[in-house]
Structure 1
């Protein structure tokens, strides 16, 4: 356990340092983030994720401090890894284990990153509905990311504890994701709307705190006559955190369909979440062009839900993590290519 804590602690220190560098690049006053800066940081976060894949590919066994075949077998059994050890060959068995661990990480990362795109649709809508100027987007997203990391930490390790104690909960997760995917497909053509006045988070904040409809520069709070008021900037932050909480209910069970190792779930989740902010600024002005992406995400959730429900049967026929990765990437590529090849037709308004 102490070895796992050290590995995990080293990961957190690395992430904090990278996040500090990221914030240093972006957060130089309240100004609109350029497309160039967003592209650079997006590429850096993707490269860091690929670098961590390499680390797990060669040193993944260090996470649980695996020293012998018996311990390796215990870890594989505890986390339901798709690995068969080679009798009498510790080095070869560890190589197979590391390869699978790295594959689980990158698959979970792709799943979370893909589902995060749907989050971008909602964030664009929220900023627009609350009338937040673009120069304040980055400040809200900085705090939004920090809150998301803390929430994911709690959700993931709580979920892992529940799965360890109640294995059948995976079937509940699978059924939930299946229903969510079907609903997303059926509602794919519905326009999402946000009513700032009637949003439950806004109602709650207005009931228990002083709220002002006026922005005060980039401040979350405004003091007037000695009274502290929440500004729309803080309200939209609360709504974004609430929205991320809802998205986490989908995305975290989805990654548990790929791996049952809570540390790997956390690693893949956090890399995707931290890259979300730079990806937001990269896609904010073109996200509407990927109109088939919601269909792709719907099929992605349906696939993951079915995979969790049919897990034991799929294992028997040799369905592996690499097969999951191929299907997931194929769904995403097809949805993006279809969006570009068959662009959405503009709404024609007939004047009387």
Structure 2
């Protein structure tokens, strides 16, 4: 059992396993007990579950402090804990943008609310793996070539500036090359089949029963593609805060775990957070420029982590408050995609070239 106390990427193996155990346990409890049956989640339940996940993430930060303090000393432990909280708040705020995109995807495929939670849950499980791969590759590159952090920083500054001046442009699902490829090379049904991603249906040409994907599976694919796009911004942002792989991964996953609960609380009012994107843009500019400030202005001294957390939290809080104030009284805008089962069938036909079963 000695291997449990060996370091892996700077953190003891037992601590990694403990975190994985927490994620698996929460997912099993969520899927097997809280939502064993498909049902629509109310806003009240969504807010309570969101509060639970946020509280758990904050408590995990305390555990990180004691673990890192015991291994590396109180100063390092406090520093890494502040970086964990900073990364968590950034990821949590970025996930609000994710909510809008997910809403569009579910609307496009006409997925009823009672099936959305299960799709989100499986989507987040895929995200946990995909983010792990991306973070692992990023950590390997940064460890080998530390100057890559400057590229990450410059990319974040450029992305933030672009966000400040770019207009709102909805995700183009119909012309996404990956979605079109999957749709035209797999059997796809025109209609949903409850919560199933794959079902056996009669082939229109042979009459034999064949396996076919459902619109729910296509929605799941698009949600994961959207997350990969978001990860291009969020993963470099966390690496710009810390290169500790454990902090990078756990802050990402802790923010994502509560996304499915947060979705149902925000989906109906996501238009109220329109101006948050400008605050997030400033956060990305700040996080990216922080590296250059530390190395070329402060002479290599670290940017104070408490100050970094304060500025990040202040910008995000300011964006939320201003958005809620500016959009008070506004009604929910019409979705860019047509709603309803008939529209969804038409979308499936367009994606499959008229070959949907």
Q: Relative to structure 1, is the Cα distance of residues 148 and 193 closer, same or farther in structure 2, using a 3 angstrom cutoff?
A: closer
Runs of 4+ off more than 6 Å = none
Q: Which residue of 2 aligns with 1:90?
A: none
1:287 aligns with 2:270: yes
Which structure 2 segments of 5+ residues have no match?
203-208, 332-357
SS of residue paired to 2:241: coil
Q: Which residue of 2 aligns with 1:101?
A: 80
Q: Which residue of 1 aligns with 2:325?
A: 341
- Kept in 2, the 8 Å contact 1:175–1:309? The answer is no
Which whole-Å CA distance do the structure 2 matches of 1:296 and 1:311 have between them?
Answer: 22
Equivalent residue in structure 2 for 1:192, among 146, 170, 173: 170
Equivalent residue in structure 2 for 1:268, among 230, 246, 251: 251
Equivalent residue in structure 2 for 1:250, among 216, 233, 240: 233
Equivalent residue in structure 1 for 2:193, among 208, 216, 226: 216
Which whole-Å CA distance do the structure 2 matches of 1:219 and 1:137 have between them?
Answer: 12
| Offset, 1:341 | 2.1
Which structure 1 segments of 5+ residues have no match?
67-71, 73-93, 348-352
| Offset, 1:57 | 2.0
| Offset, 1:204 | 1.3
Equivalent residue in structure 2 for 1:52, among 60, 68, 74: 60
Which whole-Å CA distance do the structure 2 matches of 1:318 and 1:308 have between them?
Answer: 9
State the TM-score, normalized to the length of structure 1. 0.84
Structure with the bigger RCO (C-alpha within 8 Å, sep 6+) is 2
SS of residue paired to 1:105: helix
1:14 aligns with 2:18: no
Which whole-Å CA distance do the structure 2 matches of 1:35 and 1:268 have between them?
Answer: 25
Per-residue CA deviations over 1:33-54 (Å, capped at 9, x if unaligned) read 1222211211111111111111
Q: Relative to structure 1, is the Cα distance of residues 318 and 258 closer, same or farther in structure 2, using a 3 angstrom cutoff?
A: closer
Q: Which residue of 2 aligns with 1:2?
A: 6
| Offset, 1:26 | 4.0
Which whole-Å CA distance do the structure 1 matches of 2:168 and 2:19 have between them?
Answer: 41
Moved more, 19-28 or 115-124: 19-28
- Kept in 2, the 8 Å contact 1:129–1:194? The answer is no
Q: CA RMSD in A?
A: 1.9
Q: Relative to structure 1, is the Cα distance of residues 193 and 156 closer, same or farther in structure 2, using a 3 angstrom cutoff?
A: closer
Matches within 5 A, 1:297-312: 297-312=280-295
Aligned length: 316
State the TM-score, normalized to the length of structure 2. 0.83
- Kept in 2, the 8 Å contact 1:125–1:194? The answer is no
- Kept in 2, the 8 Å contact 1:31–1:136? The answer is yes
Q: Which residue of 1 aligns with 2:90?
A: 111
Which whole-Å CA distance do the structure 2 matches of 1:171 and 1:308 have between them?
Answer: 7
- Kept in 2, the 8 Å contact 1:22–1:41? The answer is no
Which whole-Å CA distance do the structure 1 matches of 2:231 and 2:13 have between them?
Answer: 24
Which whole-Å CA distance do the structure 2 matches of 1:340 and 1:176 have between them?
Answer: 29
SS of residue paired to 1:140: helix
Which whole-Å CA distance do the structure 2 matches of 1:291 and 1:299 have between them?
Answer: 15
